[in-house]
Structure 1
Amino acid sequence: MIGSHRLIMVLTIALCLYVFTASYLLTGLIRRYALKKRLIDIPNLRSSHDVPTPRGGGFAVVIVFLSTIIGLTVIYELEVDPHSIAVLILSSALIAGIGFWDDHQPLAAKWRFLVHFIAATGALFLLPELPGIQLFSWVLDSSIILFFFYSLMLVWLLNLYNFMDGIDGLAGVEAMTTAGAAVLLLGLQGQMYWALISLLLAACVGGFLVWNWPPAKIFMGDACSGFLGFILGLMALMTSISGGLNMWCWWILMSVFIVDATTTLCRRIMRGEIWYQAHRSHAYQILSRRLNSHKKVTQSVLAINVFWLLPWAYVSVVYEAWAPLICIVAMAPLCVAVLKLGAGTTND
């Protein structure tokens, strides 16, 4: 028994090293391709970078992650509903595909959002059920309300991830720490397959992050940023269905991005601005200018996720009935911080 556990651990480590290395090498190849095809982000007044930089490197994460999941599902008899895996792969591939297209030939926002809603609603239709949301002693379980809410949630998560991918390393660190935290929490719940999926996602992002760490040699691109937000949203739904982690736990883990992007969006709409236009008024952008450093902001988010949000996420799993209040407690300091920084009110 001990020997089999050791073998599983060795195989898991080997698999993680493989996806990390594959993602790293493929990102390097994509960088050469982007330079050759002149897929370059040129700095402008709304940019947070000063040097022309190739984009689209995050597509390596998409390719390596999805191909690995397909391989594991086909080769091994895994204790998971293959239907759910098919939904995850097909819908997230659609999101990555439209992002890849947009990286090469910018699309009108209405067409992007149309595809986003098709992918989100399609995935929800195909899921075996929609997880209810615990609200203290009451559970929201209306299928109509849940379908509408989760559709908006998935579309918002993939777009906010795109909005928050504005400085070196930030989106990669957010994905790695969120997925890494999920590995620990899912493992404690005995959800080993979903823990493995989260671990592989973190390893794939890690391979890309070597190139994207400040100062970035290549940017993530829409193909990956939207994919990461969407895949994390789907994993939240699926692990909630399986009884692994509740939705509040996932929202706590993603709080930095959720709070900054949502606050900025609401304040820009209140100011009468076109919310989907590029800007520099997110809290993380303002802070990176004040500190004159992408690295310090990215490291700060890393610390917040590990030392503040992860413990609260664990508490929300242990005391699920109190998860809404725990989520408010976890998010409250972040809300105060982004408001004090002036998120959504300035482009200076």
Structure 2
Amino acid sequence: MYFCENLLPMNIFLATVTSFFFGFLMTPVLILILKKIKFTEAPGGRRIHAGSIPSMGGIAIVFATFVGLFAWLSFDQIVETRYFLVGLAIMFSVGLRDDLIELTALQKLVGQSIPAFFVIVMADIRISSLYGFMGVYEIPYLISVAVTFFAILVLTNSFNLIDGADGLAGSLSLVTLSILGFWFYTAGMISYSLISFTLVGGILAFLVFNWHPAKIFMGDTGSLSVGFSLTVLVILFVDKTGLMAPWEGLKLNAPFSAGLAFLIVPVYDTVRIFIKRTMNGRSPLKPDKSHVHHFLIRMGLHHDQVSLVLVVVKLSFISIVFFGYSLSDHILLPTIAIIATVLGIWMDRKTLEKVKINCKNSPSVSGKNADRVKRRQNKRKPSIAKNMFSNNKINMN
């Protein structure tokens, strides 16, 4: 038994390495195939890249992950995590189908509900309690299922929305999965630790080709699969750390705050976008360039700088939770919310200042050029009006 326990870290290491090398070898081949069949993504919508770039990089991530898992998970561990693995495979299929033939919102909802069902009902991975928050502990089963179902769908799709800058989604997921993998290991949840680190290997290999300038994107195939995995593993972490005794592992007294810190960037971005678009009378679901990474790029940062800045921000929030492990959600949740709101307001103001400076210094709208533009506009107006009347003669007969 002692020998087997000491082999566990080596199994995790080998699974991570296997996943990395398989993904590293597969991704260039995938890029060539996608270019050959001209399956690329043009700029527009949320995308801010130049030229057509192959998408569907999630194929390499998921395939590499499954190769690493089935190579190093024991039979008992596969049985233990089977519903999670089935859910991941189904979510991968939904993303792949959406990349190949765009699905309607209803079709996506139905497709994403199936893996959520497997994880919640079959694997029993759910938020089963409020862990003392507002004086509430265990919650009814149906409410638990409904809350977890809603969380999986919203958080999976919120992760999909931040996949708009080179290396961003991969970098953020890498941080979360690495910390979760370590935490699961300390808590004795070896199967989920191995899953977390195997995903790290696949995503790290993908990042080699997705870092700015990106040669391939995740696509919905990757963002939905990785987003689903992150969400489910964070929910599992929240429930276990909320219910465990202090001596059982690295217990945090603020489980919801910890879960929020792990997903702070997509959660903040989604809430911010929803509020702003609703207040402006626009559909919250319509893609545009008003996400957090777009604002940082308007401030003058490059893609790689945006990814690094948001990784540092995320690590800062995670550090607050881990250093304040003895504090409750009553203290940490409002603290995180206030800090995130202040940072968001500061970012909006800095972006607006930068845009104003750029407009002021732009040769096309400053000095003599501005006068020329105005003169040209004034000259065009009469001619347009003249043409309108000349082409619409009134018949007096």
Which residue in the other structure is 1:133 paired with?
A: 130
Higher mean C-alpha displacement, 179-188 vs 129-138: 129-138
Identity of aligned residues (%): 21
**Alignment map for 1:146-165 (pairs within 5 Å):** 146-165=144-163
**Alignment map for 1:22-171 (pairs within 5 Å):** 22-44=22-44, 46-73=46-73, 75-78=74-77, 82-83=79-80, 85-128=81-124, 130=126, 131-134=128-131, 135=133, 137-171=135-169
Given that 1:283 and 1:342 are in contact with CA atoms closer than 8 Å, whether structure 2 keeps it comes out as no
Tell me by how many angstroms 1:251 deviates: 2.1
1:17 aligned partner, one-letter code: V
Tell me by how many angstroms 1:231 deviates: 1.1
- Where 1:107 maps in the other structure, the secondary structure is coil
Which residue in the other structure is 2:326 paired with?
A: 319
Given that 2:57 and 2:206 are in contact with CA atoms closer than 8 Å, whether structure 1 keeps it comes out as yes
Which residue in the other structure is 1:328 paired with?
A: 334
Which residue in the other structure is 2:290 paired with?
A: 281
Unaligned runs of 5+ in 1: none
Unaligned runs of 5+ in 2: 356-397
Tell me by how many angstroms 1:238 deviates: 3.0
Q: 1:221 to 1:262 in 2, by over 3 A?
A: same
Higher mean C-alpha displacement, 208-217 vs 228-237: 228-237
Aligned equivalents of 1:129, 1:169: Cα separation in 2: 29
Given that 1:161 and 1:229 are in contact with CA atoms closer than 8 Å, whether structure 2 keeps it comes out as yes
Tell me by how many angstroms 1:121 deviates: 3.3
Higher relative contact order (CA closer than 8 Å, sequence separation 6+):
1
TM-score normalised to structure 2 length: 0.77
Aligned equivalents of 2:256, 2:194: Cα separation in 1: 19
Which residue in the other structure is 1:310 paired with?
A: 318
Tell me by how many angstroms 1:6 deviates: 6.0
Aligned equivalents of 1:291, 1:176: Cα separation in 2: 25
- Where 1:133 maps in the other structure, the secondary structure is coil
1:291 aligned partner, one-letter code: G
Number of residue equivalences: 339
Which residue in the other structure is 2:377 paired with?
A: none
**Pairwise CA RMSD:** 2.7
Given that 2:156 and 2:227 are in contact with CA atoms closer than 8 Å, whether structure 1 keeps it comes out as yes
Q: 1:127 to 1:190 in 2, by over 3 A?
A: closer
Aligned equivalents of 2:23, 2:334: Cα separation in 1: 36
Q: 1:142 to 1:315 in 2, by over 3 A?
A: farther
Given that 1:194 and 1:239 are in contact with CA atoms closer than 8 Å, whether structure 2 keeps it comes out as no
**Could you tell me which of 218, 225, 228 is aligned with 2:226?**
228
Tell me by how many angstroms 1:205 deviates: 0.7
Which residue in the other structure is 2:200 paired with?
A: 202
- Where 2:137 maps in the other structure, the secondary structure is strand
Aligned equivalents of 1:95, 1:302: Cα separation in 2: 25
Aligned equivalents of 1:187, 1:45: Cα separation in 2: 40
Given that 1:249 and 1:313 are in contact with CA atoms closer than 8 Å, whether structure 2 keeps it comes out as yes
Tell me by how many angstroms 1:240 deviates: 4.3
Tell me by how many angstroms 1:331 deviates: 4.0
Which residue in the other structure is 2:383 paired with?
A: none
Tell me by how many angstroms 1:106 deviates: 1.5
Tell me by how many angstroms 1:236 deviates: 2.4
Higher mean C-alpha displacement, 2-11 vs 170-179: 2-11
Given that 1:259 and 1:334 are in contact with CA atoms closer than 8 Å, whether structure 2 keeps it comes out as yes
Tell me by how many angstroms 1:148 deviates: 1.5
Tell me by how many angstroms 1:277 deviates: 1.9
Which residue in the other structure is 1:337 paired with?
A: 343
Higher mean C-alpha displacement, 242-251 vs 179-188: 242-251
TM-score normalised to structure 1 length: 0.87
Q: Deviations over 1:27-61 (max 9, x none)?
A: 22211111011111111365311232111112211
Higher mean C-alpha displacement, 176-185 vs 210-219: 176-185
Tell me by how many angstroms 1:77 deviates: 3.5
Tell me by how many angstroms 1:146 deviates: 1.8
Aligned equivalents of 2:108, 2:267: Cα separation in 1: 20
- Where 2:267 maps in the other structure, the secondary structure is helix
